[in-house]
Structure formats: structure tokens, C-alpha cells
Amino acid sequence: MIYLFYGDDQFTLSEEINKLKKETLPPEAEDFNFARLDALKNTFTIDDLLQAAEAYPFLSDKRLVIVTGLLGRLGKSALAEERAAARAATRPARGRAAAPSKPTTPRERFLDFIPNQMPSTILVIVEEKIDKRDAVFKAVEKLGAVREFLPLENWALEKWINDRAVKLDITLDRAVAPLLREFVGNNLYSLTNELKKLGAYAGEGETVTTQMVELLTAEVQDSKIWDLTDALARRDYRQAMVQLARQRNESTLSRAGFTRKTFAIICNQMYDLLRISELYNSRKTKNEIAQSLGMNPYRVEKTIPMLRNFQPGRLEKIYARLTEADYADKSGKADLNIQLDLLVANICLEK
């Protein structure tokens, strides 16, 4: 059997492979019958894959082979193949028809292998993106199974959070899953880590509450600073000072600790605004920006509307001022505790 797994949800994809491995191979035979190959390595050859896939299983009925990045390594694209076939079809015949040539390229050899694969081998091809016109994709779709792993959204993501909590033996308050979905997004690795952290904090048999999420989840904490950043973007000095004072009073950190953490988050958010602005002005979509910068799509979606508050060059000017304040603090020329309030005033009130 041959599978092609692809898509952006690499967490669920990995879990599906682990499930297949558990169902296919007994623990005592795993070392002899499992192979994982990376086709993107310079040392990889098609012979490595064919030898692994054509080997007989030992102490088991099945053998499992995982190969990542194969389609890109096989070279010639499906579109080029189709054009070559079209040219061959229109070329006038001369003499006797030539005998079918033996597969020679890695792509040809693998396409020849697909219908002749060992029935005892389960081969899984793992890709992030695929071209559905690719001959390999079409062959696997016809003779095996293709599965796309799409990121979870909205209610499906909330259901996953609740189901994962049950699997981890963690009890969640009803409002926790929507809160985690909104702020952490659909990165299932991050969500799993957050659930484990929250469960450990709550303790065995206790319920994770929204207050715990607000206290421990960095994305929620950062979102509070977004209120301050948004006020800075609108040059709303009164609201900016209200937000700064409120967050300072609510913080359990010392004054110095709060100042440094808040200043660092503001710097990071202004830097993110600069990077997002550059890509957004290049007409990139929200998902393209998130993927390019390795950001949570929710963070990008929340940032884009703020860009309209900044005239050309203002972001660069603010970031330069923040850099100067950081240098002054680290060199001992100024106290960041005092500088933070002055920075808020300067950013909001300067012409």
C-alpha cells in the first residue's frame, strides 16, 4: 500500500503516521521493519528508497517506510512531462515503432515501482505542498491513497482542544477552548504545550480556568499590550496612559520587571508591524504573510488593521526611538522606568 500525506497541519500528519506505525508493527519487530528517509538530503538516492521498500519484513507481516520531500527530489515536473508527451504525440513516425525504453531517471523508476510495489510494504510519502498535476500524485491517487491535512479552524479547532484535554486527562472550563483558539491559533504543537502547562498548574483533578490562561499563556498576555500599542498607533495619549497604568497595577512583577517586559513586547510588536507592513504593501495575503514570517495567522489578522494608523515613515521613526531608549538603558545613560512613560508621551504627541 502506498500513501501520500501532505498539508500544513504537520501535527495531525505526524500523529497519523505514529498511529499507522503502532497498528502495523509489533514493538519487538519495529527496529527491523521501519525506515525513515529524507529525500532532501544530498546523500539520498532513489536506490535507497527502492531498497527499503522492496525489502522483506522480518518477524512481522508488514514493513513501514516513510519518505519526506520525495516529489521535489524526483525532478522533472508533471507539466514538463505533459509537454514532452504532447510533442511526442505530434512527431511523425519514421520506420518501425521503437520498443518501450527502460525507466532510467529517478522519476521514471519510481513511477514504474508504484504499480509493482511489494504487498508487504506500506510506503508513506510526506510532503508539505504538492502539484496535483504531478504524475506521481496521480499514480498514488489511482493505486493508493492521498490525504490532505488542513489546519483546523473555528468550532473544529475548539473541539480538538477539548478532545486533546480529555486525552491528557485535563478538565477545562467551558470558556477556555474559545480563548485558546482565539489567542494561540491553530498551531497544534503550541496548543498541546499550553494544555500541558495549564494542566500542571491547575493540578490533578482541578479545572483549568480562563484566569489561569490569562496568567500563563504568553499570547494572551501579549494581547493586553496590543491595547497599549493600538492606542500608540492612534496617538491616543490618554488611552495609552490608562492602559499602561492598568497593566502596571495588574501585573504581579516588580516595577522594573514589568517595565522591561512591557518595553520588550512593544519593541517586538513594532518590529512585527514593520515586517507585516512591508509584505502587506507587496500585496501578500494574510496567510502568505503568516507563513513567510512564521507567525500565528490571528496575530497577522489583528495587526493589519493597525497599519492604517501609521503614515509612511512613522513606524521606522518609532522603532528608531525605541532602539535609542534600549541603548540608553543598557549603557546606563537613562532609567527605562522613567523612559517608558516619556516614550508613550513622545510617540503620541510628537508631530
Is residue 345 within 8 A of residue 237, CB to CB? The reply is yes
Q: In the chain, which residues fall in CATH 1.10.8.60?
A: 154-216
pTM of the shown model = 0.62
Is residue 181 within 8 A of residue 152, CB to CB? The reply is no
Is residue 2 within 8 A of residue 140, CB to CB? The reply is yes
pLDDT digit of tens for each residue in the chain (351 aa)?
Answer: 999 999 989 999 999 999 999 999 988 888 899 999 999 898 999 999 999 999 998 888 999 999 999 988 887 554 444 444 444 444 444 444 455 566 678 888 899 999 998 899 999 999 988 888 889 999 999 999 999 999 888 889 999 999 999 999 999 999 899 888 877 878 899 899 999 999 999 998 899 998 888 777 766 666 667 778 778 778 888 888 888 887 777 666 677 888 888 888 888 878 888 899 889 888 888 888 888 888 777 678 777 888 887 777 888 888 888 888 888 888 888 888 778 888 888 888 776
Sequence-separated (6 or more) residues with CB below 8 Å from residue 1:
121, 122, 123, 144, 145
Considering the four listed CATH numbers 2.70.98.70, 3.40.50.1010, 1.10.8.60, 3.30.70.980, the one that applies to the domain covering 154-216 is: 1.10.8.60
Q: In the chain, which residues fall in CATH 1.20.272.10?
A: 219-349
Fold of the domain spanning 2-80+105-148: Rossmann fold (3.40.50)
Residue with grid cell 513516425, as numbered in its chain: 93
Torsions phi, psi of 59, nearest 5? Answer: 60, 25
Considering the four listed CATH numbers 1.20.272.10, 1.10.357.10, 3.40.640.10, 3.30.300.130, the one that applies to the domain covering 219-349 is: 1.20.272.10
What single DSSP character describes residue 172?
Answer: E
Q: In the chain, which residues fall in CATH 3.40.50.300?
A: 2-80+105-148
DSSP states along 36-93 = EEETTSTT--HHHHHHHHHSPPSSSS-EEEEEESHHHHT-S-HHHHHHHHHHHHHSPP
Alpha-carbon span 26 to 28, nearest angstrom: 6
Alpha-carbon span 327 to 49, nearest angstrom: 54
Of the candidates 7, 63, 52, which has an alpha carbon nearest to the alpha carbon of residue 30? 63
